[in-house]
Chains A and B, each alone.
Chain A
């Protein structure tokens, strides 16, 4: 009897391990933070592009929703997503805070002059260190927050056409 118990234990353990391996075959191994939502964005203080004033989290509490978009003139996917940002501003009336990441003022302004300015507020993060506070790890990246400054959705990489619909849905569920 004792031997049977040991053997059954071994067989069950082995089967379990193999089964878990099987289930894991579908998963992707590269990590991203898109599921890291529900946290509060608080305590930031960023200078605007021209340096004339500072934007903090208090400024965003008036909006039902705000989209925080991290971008730079030297980033080509940022170019690709820019037209969708314009659409978001015009069609959805959503306020966007643009955080210019590790960039030069002149280049940033040229970029906006060329492709349009979707931002209600533009700030800069020259060292990139402030963006860490938002949990950003690459650009472009966008974060949708509500009036309580809770992260509702994260967009890793450029905003795509499908994302517009998604955002529109979220906005309507007021």
Chain B
């Protein structure tokens, strides 16, 4: 019954979307217009409500374990805790598509609501394009990836959900990301609408500013949460692996950041319109490209959904149509920009920001798709992993940090102040602090030194901005201070974390000890425990710090789940502000030995807090409105 309800509602939603498209065409053809924008607001509301109901229908299927629905059968189980039954709804391909659609329609409705008072032609064009996107995804859902397809006869039990996916962070991570990069659809549509309707310049900037901000904030949070989850759950102690799926979420982020800054120029100075349009088009394009890479199965990754080339084909066709359509409209309708700006001005610095963002984006894109190209063109398989990205990107982060520090204080149009004294003083302070770290703690490579110095510079400069504005009672932009400070702190702590981490991989038996730098690790005991849906071998390790006589007990586990039969390795993590102690254990088959990975990871907590600070800056700006 749920299945039929779901399918019927999807079908109705398709019809509704088609009617919105039809009425939009009617509206835009002035002769046939016989209703106002209010009607569209109503229709969008119905569309949003309907999409939500469809989503709830699927959730109900999971909650009540209706295994006649194939999607529920494949991804759930009666023994799964209720919370994870619900979150399991979007932890699979079909369910996540439903989430895509909900975000698409929700943003469509909200944009309409916020802008219903003016510029109706522009508005309805935006609605039109957005609804074409919605239609595309609805058809994809209905025809290829239907979450309500039936399994006959109805199975008695589900195939369960991967235990790794049963985690709170992982539950919120997709919704956050979707508000991010799926939300970028609205300014994609707005950009096309702007080209066609002629609503350009700062007016356009004002229209999309809020949406760029919202999608950026959520994208940032979504990425951070994904990293936090990976760190705590995957058991390797890392938080970023340059995995294709991670890269797919990071690439739109760079464009969003570039757009965030360029929109400021467009709004204040009515310049860079064409560039802003290109950025708007690119963000959602990259989002769909990322979805393609992840779901088509052409890339080897920890995160991939199950392979199905037909999905890949559909998304590729959708992506191609979108790209060519956008390019065509752009070529046809874009007028050449005329503007003048001086070399030493904020506009130039923002363009420089875009230049760096483009570099980071390009590098990650090339690294991610290069294996695809080599395989298709030369039949060899090549791996592109962290070493490539780290070596290529990190050196460029150094000048970027310096730029980030200085740029916000540069005036619009032309800057006449001389900050040289302040800059030199802060550089020297940064170098000094770095030298202290270097001298009293540990040597680092040149690049590491420069990273620490430039991130410190950004931190100090931003703080000095804050204090001097506070003293002089000049109006200050708190969101910029907070975000830039967060970024500086993030790089600083990542730099320290990388250089001061201790890690050791070794094999020992119960009762044995191992010395790792100033730590003594005692493999005290091994116990078997039984829980609701898994059994676990728990190792008890006492870690003594010889330097300060502190002692910590860490208990990593090897978990054996029965539905489905999986083995997972749970890390034991002891978190403090100053550092984390991280221990994982795995058995070596047919021996009494266990493979232990012990890590001391400084400042992990500070890394998370700094990253969250970056997004807080964005949220501050949203709430200022």
Q: Do chains A and B touch in the complex (CB under 8 A)?
A: yes
Please tell me if the beta carbons of B299 and A29 are within 8 angstroms of each other in the complex.
yes
Is B470's beta carbon under 8 Å from chain A?
A: no
Taken together as a complex, chains A and B put the C-alpha atoms of A174 and B299 apart, in Å, by: 41
On whether A11 and B292 interact (CB within 8 A), knowing A20-B372, A24-B298, the answer reads no
Taking the closest CB of chain B, its distance from the CB of A65, in whole angstroms, is: 27
Please tell me if the beta carbons of A18 and B316 are within 8 angstroms of each other in the complex.
yes
List chain B residues, Cβ under 8 A from A11. 327
Taking the closest CB of chain A, its distance from the CB of B308, in whole angstroms, is: 10
Taken together as a complex, chains A and B put the C-alpha atoms of A31 and B300 apart, in Å, by: 9
Is A14's beta carbon under 8 Å from chain B?
A: yes
Is B136's beta carbon under 8 Å from chain A?
A: no
Please tell me if the beta carbons of B376 and A20 are within 8 angstroms of each other in the complex.
yes
Is B296's beta carbon under 8 Å from chain A?
A: yes
List chain B residues, Cβ under 8 A from A74. 589-590
On whether A14 and B327 interact (CB within 8 A), knowing A24-B298, A27-B375, the answer reads yes
Residues 14 to 33 of chain A near chain B (Cβ within 8 Å) = 14, 17-18, 20-27, 29-31
**CB < 8 Å: which of A14, A29, A102, A104 contacts B298?**
A29
Taking the closest CB of chain A, its distance from the CB of B379, in whole angstroms, is: 9
Please tell me if the beta carbons of B300 and A29 are within 8 angstroms of each other in the complex.
yes
Residues 48 to 89 of chain A near chain B (Cβ within 8 Å) = 74
On whether A23 and B376 interact (CB within 8 A), knowing A29-B307, A102-B590, the answer reads yes
Is B309's beta carbon under 8 Å from chain A?
A: yes
Residues 370 to 417 of chain B near chain A (Cβ within 8 Å) = 372-373, 375-377, 381
Is A7's beta carbon under 8 Å from chain B?
A: yes
Please tell me if the beta carbons of A29 and B297 are within 8 angstroms of each other in the complex.
yes
Please tell me if the beta carbons of B298 and A21 are within 8 angstroms of each other in the complex.
yes
Please tell me if the beta carbons of B300 and A24 are within 8 angstroms of each other in the complex.
no
List chain B residues, Cβ under 8 A from A30. 300
List chain B residues, Cβ under 8 A from A23. 376
List chain A residues, Cβ under 8 A from B313. 22, 25
Taken together as a complex, chains A and B put the C-alpha atoms of A25 and B376 apart, in Å, by: 10
Is A10's beta carbon under 8 Å from chain B?
A: yes
List chain B residues, Cβ under 8 A from A14. 323-324, 327
Please tell me if the beta carbons of B316 and A22 are within 8 angstroms of each other in the complex.
yes
Residues 287 to 317 of chain B near chain A (Cβ within 8 Å) = 292, 296-300, 304, 307, 309, 312-313, 316
**CB < 8 Å: which of B298, B319, B324 contacts A27?**
B298
Residues 314 to 338 of chain B near chain A (Cβ within 8 Å) = 316, 319-320, 323-324, 327, 331
Residues 327 to 365 of chain B near chain A (Cβ within 8 Å) = 327, 331
| Chain A minimum-CB-distance residue to B315 | A21
On whether A10 and B307 interact (CB within 8 A), knowing A18-B320, A21-B372, the answer reads no
| Chain B minimum-CB-distance residue to A11 | B327
List chain A residues, Cβ under 8 A from B589. 74, 102
| Chain B minimum-CB-distance residue to A14 | B323
| Chain A minimum-CB-distance residue to B312 | A25
List chain B residues, Cβ under 8 A from A27. 298, 375-376
| Among A17, A25, A74, A102: residue with most chain B CB under 10 A | A25
Write out, one digit per residue, whether chain B residues 590-621 have a CB within 8 A of any chain A CB (1) or not (0): 10000000000000000000000000000000
Please tell me if the beta carbons of A7 and B331 are within 8 angstroms of each other in the complex.
yes
On whether A25 and B296 interact (CB within 8 A), knowing A20-B372, A20-B377, the answer reads yes
Taking the closest CB of chain B, its distance from the CB of A101, in whole angstroms, is: 11
Write out, one digit per residue, whether chain B residues 486-529 have a CB within 8 A of any chain A CB (1) or not (0): 00000000000000000000000000000000000000000000
Taking the closest CB of chain A, its distance from the CB of B272, in whole angstroms, is: 18
Category for how many chain B residues contact A: 20 to 34
On whether A21 and B327 interact (CB within 8 A), knowing A29-B307, A30-B300, A74-B590, the answer reads no
**CB < 8 Å: which of B297, B300, B373 contacts A20?**
B373
| Chain B minimum-CB-distance residue to A21 | B316
Taken together as a complex, chains A and B put the C-alpha atoms of A10 and B281 apart, in Å, by: 14
Write out, one digit per residue, whether chain A residues 96-111 have a CB within 8 A of any chain B CB (1) or not (0): 0000001110000000
Taking the closest CB of chain A, its distance from the CB of B537, in whole angstroms, is: 19
Taken together as a complex, chains A and B put the C-alpha atoms of A74 and B591 apart, in Å, by: 13
Taking the closest CB of chain A, its distance from the CB of B595, in whole angstroms, is: 13
Taken together as a complex, chains A and B put the C-alpha atoms of A29 and B376 apart, in Å, by: 12
Please tell me if the beta carbons of A31 and B381 are within 8 angstroms of each other in the complex.
yes
Please tell me if the beta carbons of A24 and B307 are within 8 angstroms of each other in the complex.
no
**CB < 8 Å: which of A7, A25, A103 contacts B316?**
A25
List chain A residues, Cβ under 8 A from B316. 18, 21-22, 25
Taken together as a complex, chains A and B put the C-alpha atoms of A24 and B375 apart, in Å, by: 8
Taken together as a complex, chains A and B put the C-alpha atoms of A74 and B375 apart, in Å, by: 36
| Chain A minimum-CB-distance residue to B591 | A102
Taking the closest CB of chain B, its distance from the CB of A93, in whole angstroms, is: 34
Taken together as a complex, chains A and B put the C-alpha atoms of A86 and B376 apart, in Å, by: 40
Please tell me if the beta carbons of B323 and A18 are within 8 angstroms of each other in the complex.
yes
Taking the closest CB of chain A, its distance from the CB of B512, in whole angstroms, is: 19
Taken together as a complex, chains A and B put the C-alpha atoms of A71 and B529 apart, in Å, by: 34
Taking the closest CB of chain B, its distance from the CB of A49, in whole angstroms, is: 17
Taken together as a complex, chains A and B put the C-alpha atoms of A7 and B334 apart, in Å, by: 13
List chain B residues, Cβ under 8 A from A24. 296, 298, 372, 375-376
Taken together as a complex, chains A and B put the C-alpha atoms of A10 and B323 apart, in Å, by: 11
Taken together as a complex, chains A and B put the C-alpha atoms of A23 and B292 apart, in Å, by: 13
| Chain B minimum-CB-distance residue to A7 | B331
Taken together as a complex, chains A and B put the C-alpha atoms of A24 and B298 apart, in Å, by: 6
Taken together as a complex, chains A and B put the C-alpha atoms of A20 and B590 apart, in Å, by: 46
Residues 89 to 134 of chain A near chain B (Cβ within 8 Å) = 102-104
Taken together as a complex, chains A and B put the C-alpha atoms of A22 and B372 apart, in Å, by: 10
Please tell me if the beta carbons of B309 and A26 are within 8 angstroms of each other in the complex.
yes
Please tell me if the beta carbons of A21 and B299 are within 8 angstroms of each other in the complex.
no
List chain B residues, Cβ under 8 A from A31. 300, 381
**CB < 8 Å: which of B309, B320, B331, B590 contacts A25?**
B309
| Chain B minimum-CB-distance residue to A22 | B316
Can you report 11 A-B residue pairs in the complex whose CB atoms are below 8 A from each other?
Answer: A7-B327, A7-B331, A14-B327, A18-B316, A20-B376, A20-B377, A22-B313, A24-B375, A29-B299, A29-B300, A29-B304
Instruction: Taking A27-B375, A27-B376, A29-B297 as given, write out 16 further A-B residue pairs in contact, using a Cβ cutoff of 8 Å, ordered by the A residue number.
Output: A17-B369, A18-B316, A18-B320, A20-B372, A20-B373, A20-B376, A21-B292, A21-B372, A22-B313, A23-B376, A24-B376, A25-B313, A25-B316, A26-B309, A29-B299, A29-B300
Footprint of B on A, CB under 8 Å? 7, 10-11, 14, 17-18, 20-27, 29-31, 74, 102-104
- Of all A-B residue pairs in the complex, the 6 with the closest CB atoms, nearest first, are A29-B300, A24-B298, A25-B309, A23-B376, A24-B372, A25-B312
